[in-house]
Structure 1
Amino acid sequence: MNIQHLITTIEKTDPEVYERLNPRRKVIQQFAKLGGKLALSAVPIALGSMFSKAYGRGTTGSVLDVLQYALTLEYLEAEFYTKAVASGIVPAGPPTGAFTTIRDHENAHVAFLKTAITASGATPISKPTFDFSAGNGSNNGPFKDVFTNYQLLLAVAQTFEDTGVRAYKGRAAELISNNDVLTAALKIHSVEARHAAHIRYMRRNLLSNTTIKPWITGKDTGGIGAAVQASYNGEELAVQAGITITNINSMAISVNAATEAFDEPLTDTQVLAIVDPFIA
């Protein structure tokens, strides 16, 4: 696959693509302005037909398992943001712009994954019935007010995004046998990371809480609490590849800084346990 040629084609559709893909902060600042343009998350969709032949060649059972697993997570996020935008509780202006953009990204991810699975000769799993109260179908779980309480909505959104980033990282290695699938999955992973950073930025502004950063510190939930702790456990690691990051090479690197530098993967078992209360 000639990636340079594909990027050139995308640039013809969206002349601003390079500008938006470069500085991370600028991407966040322009989040509300992305509607109607080809954002990074749309790259897999734009290439979907070109990827279809690649997906049909050498797609192993393990790769298909990962695609189906990712589809479940994207179904969850797509429906969550669709309901959030329709709820009417998201403030007008940049907040609504951000939620609408993320909604469109997640729905694009769903469409892309279904295309990839179908092109591989398999049938995409059906969308589950979700209970965003985290009540296993009772609609009376700890987040029952999620679509009437904006602060809670942002908290649940942050948890979904942080979990999604760790989930993609946890299974990326299983895609190494198919470069096209791996490339597309990592593009989605990078978009989910930007979603997480932006939602955290929105919570920081709403709560006037400067301790909420665009990234995870240790295993801190950002003030959400025990109900979502499972999504953050394991992030407190300060050792990478057997090397202790704190004070490495005699540099003054704190435990917080060391843990903020890396996202730790979640296994499929851990992710499915986190998601289970949201499935009716």
Structure 2
Amino acid sequence: MNLLNIIEEIEKVDPEFNDRISPRRAAIRNITSFGTKVAVAALPFAFTTLFKKAYGQTAPVSVADVLNYALKLEYLEAAFYNQGATSSLAFSSTEQAYVATIRGHENAHVTFLKNALGNAAVAQSTQGVNGVYDFTAGGTFPTVFTSVDTFFAVAQALEDTGVRAYKGQAANLQKDANALTAALNIHSVEARHAAAVRQIRRMRGGAGASTKPWITGANDTGITAVNGNYSGEDNVTQGPVTITSLDGVGAKISVSAATESFDEPLTMAQVVALVTPFGVK
């Protein structure tokens, strides 16, 4: 049985098959080079696994769909900071400056994505109720615009989720270099927002006193209502490597350090479920 010949035959009817399985093809080539009974016995399993990974995933999401998904999230964040900046919240001068800066960035992201999508851009009026969001998330955060602490707690959850949302869609933009570059540029700015908001919560003390500028473990906000936003952030395995098995400074790398060192992606479905209570559709 020559699996490489089989693969070549499949490529004749599915020209994209090679792209689907790369670099898995190299793995199959390595297995077939062993020339042992063990390797031969492993071939059917390896080939089955290859097919599952090549065809067992959902159809690729279009670039326009990804950008509209991003636009919906940016609409949400821009509206959040727009409302916060014009509310009666008693921000300190430092906090007010941060809110103004982040507000400007989020509105710039909205403008950029709308221009990039042109007529294909989803209208902001389709979100929430005629474009108006429920930032209490159905009553989960009733004091979001009357308590500065609640405002920044919600901001932290939104920003952390935004970072993971952009990371989760990078693979769907790989064939469009311009879109990928733009998305990663926005992703990095969202990460800066998240770090800034987290630092503000730390400086304010109270429930956010132990907050770091980066995510430690899973949900480190102190708010159980946003557990889902941090699902998977306690992952300590990157690729084939268990980070906590590596040598650190004087000891193995700790779980805290391992989780702080890597952001984890969220799928589109996961993110949509998380922001639906605010009115994102």
In structure 2, the residue matched to 1:102 is 102
1:36-51 → structure 2 map (5 Å cutoff): none
SS at match of 1:164: helix
Q: Deviation of residue 210 (structure 1)?
A: 4.9
Q: Please, which runs of 5 or more residues in structure 1 have no aligned partner?
A: 1-59, 136-140
Deviations 1:152-182 (A, max 9, x none): 0000000000000000000011111111111
Is the aligned partner of 1:116 residue 2:116?
yes
Does the C-alpha gap of structure 1 residues 210 and 61 become closer, same or farther in structure 2, counting only changes over 3 Å? closer
In structure 2, the residue matched to 1:200 is 198
Deviations 1:67-98 (A, max 9, x none): 00000000000000000000131424111000
Q: Distance in 2 between matches of 1:91 and 1:97?
A: 9
2:185 to 165, 184, 187: 187
Q: Deviation of residue 145 (structure 1)?
A: 1.3
Deviating beyond 4 angstroms after TM superposition, the runs of 4 or more aligned structure 1 residues are none
Q: Is the 8 A contact 2:247 2:253 kept in 1?
A: no
Does the C-alpha gap of structure 1 residues 93 and 173 become closer, same or farther in structure 2, counting only changes over 3 Å? same
Q: Please, which runs of 5 or more residues in structure 2 have no aligned partner?
A: 1-59
1 or 2 for the larger relative contact order (CA 8 Å, sep ≥6)?
1
In structure 1, the residue matched to 2:70 is 70
Q: Is the 8 A contact 1:219 1:232 kept in 2?
A: yes
Give the structure-1-normalised TM-score. Answer: 0.73
SS at match of 1:213: coil
In structure 2, the residue matched to 1:215 is 214
In structure 1, the residue matched to 2:228 is 230
Does the C-alpha gap of structure 1 residues 240 and 196 become closer, same or farther in structure 2, counting only changes over 3 Å? same
SS at match of 1:246: helix
Deviations 1:45-64 (A, max 9, x none): xxxxxxxxxxxxxxx97100
Deviations 1:98-155 (A, max 9, x none): 000000000000000000001xxx42111112110101xxxxx111210001100000
1:230-269 → structure 2 map (5 Å cutoff): 230-249=228-247, 251-269=251-269
Q: Distance in 1 between matches of 2:242 and 2:176?
A: 33
1:144-155 → structure 2 map (5 Å cutoff): 144-155=142-153
Is the aligned partner of 1:168 residue 2:166?
yes
Q: Distance in 1 between matches of 2:177 and 2:88?
A: 41
Q: Distance in 2 between matches of 1:161 and 1:173?
A: 21
Give the structure-2-normalised TM-score. Answer: 0.73
2:71 maps to a residue whose letter is: L
Q: Is the 8 A contact 1:201 1:214 kept in 2?
A: yes
Q: Distance in 2 between matches of 1:61 and 1:229?
A: 27
Q: Distance in 1 between matches of 2:98 and 2:226?
A: 23
The root-mean-square deviation of aligned C-alpha atoms, in Å, is 1.6
Q: Deviation of residue 187 (structure 1)?
A: 0.5
Q: Which has the larger radius of gyration?
A: 2
Q: Distance in 1 between matches of 2:123 and 2:137?
A: 20
Q: Is the 8 A contact 1:221 1:228 kept in 2?
A: no
